[in-house]
């Protein structure tokens, strides 16, 4: 089942306002649908595409005024699997996080493009959880 997000959820994952997401929907930058007249939802793969397009990596040593702490919530933008390992890329606001894990772990978590995920950073290890 494909992941979908309401406008407020999409805005939070992208680090923009709800109104910005609505403008992107109205302009066609971000496709959305309404199922049975309900609230507008955005497909996770479309959200991942926009997330990857909109955030350039920050300059070395430059951070925003808020601290990311050690948990970075974002959206999966790429998953590469082989027979043993998986490489998972998450766009968490302006930060691109890449994690290497077993293929089994990626499969068990259901990590696919468009899925919301949380990267937990501890020392030199990045652990990915699904909220």
pLDDT tens, position by position, 67-80: 445 778 899 999 99
pLDDT band at 59, cuts 50/70/90? low
104-108-113-118 Cα dihedral, nearest 10 degrees: -110
What residue segments make up the domains of the chain, in order of their start? 4-54, 71-120
Look at the pTM and tell me if it is higher than 0.85: no
Secondary structure letter of residue 61 according to DSSP = T
Angle at 64 between CA 44 and CA 119, to 5 degrees: 45
CATH class for domain 71-120? mainly beta
Question: In this prediction, what percent of the chain has a pLDDT beyond 90?
Answer: 53
Q: Is 4-54 in CATH node 1.10.1660.10?
A: yes
With H, G, I as helix, E, B as strand and everything else as coil, classify residue 47.
Answer: helix
């Amino acid at each position: 089942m494909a992941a979908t997000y309401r406008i407020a959820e999409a805005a939070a994952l992208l680090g923009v306002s709800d109104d910005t997401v609505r403008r992107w929907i109205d302009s066609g930058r971000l496709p959305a649908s309404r199922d049975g007249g309900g609230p507008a939802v955005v497909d996770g793969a479309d959200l991942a595409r926009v997330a990857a397009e909109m955030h350039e990596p920050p300059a070395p040593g430059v951070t925003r005024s808020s601290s990311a702490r050690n948990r970075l919530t974002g959206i999966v933008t790429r998953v590469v699997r082989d027979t043993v390992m998986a490489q998972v890329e998450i766009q968490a606001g302006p930060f691109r996080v890449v994690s290497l894990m077993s293929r089994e772990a990626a499969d068990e978590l259901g990590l696919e493009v468009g899925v919301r995920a949380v990267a937990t950073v501890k020392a030199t290890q990045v652990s990915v959880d699904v909220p």
